[in-house]
Amino acid sequence: MGENYLIVAENGFRPKKTNSNPLSDLIDDETYEVLKSHGLFYKKAVRNYGIRKNYREMRKKMAGTDAIKQLHESFPYLEYDTIRKIIYTR
Residue 15 within a domain: no
Residue 48 within a domain: yes
pLDDT in tens, 8-58: 455 555 544 556 888 888 999 999 999 989 989 888 999 999 999 999 999
Residue whose C-alpha is closest to residue 6's, from 14, 48, 51: 14
Residue-level pLDDT at 12: 58
User: What's the domain count of the chain?
Assistant: 1
**What whole-number distance in Å separates Cα of residue 84 and Cα of residue 46?**
16
Residue 3 within a domain: no
Residue 44 within a domain: yes
Residue-level pLDDT at 20: 84
Residue-level pLDDT at 54: 93
Q: Which domain holds residue 57?
A: 29-88
Residue 1 within a domain: no
Residue 82 within a domain: yes
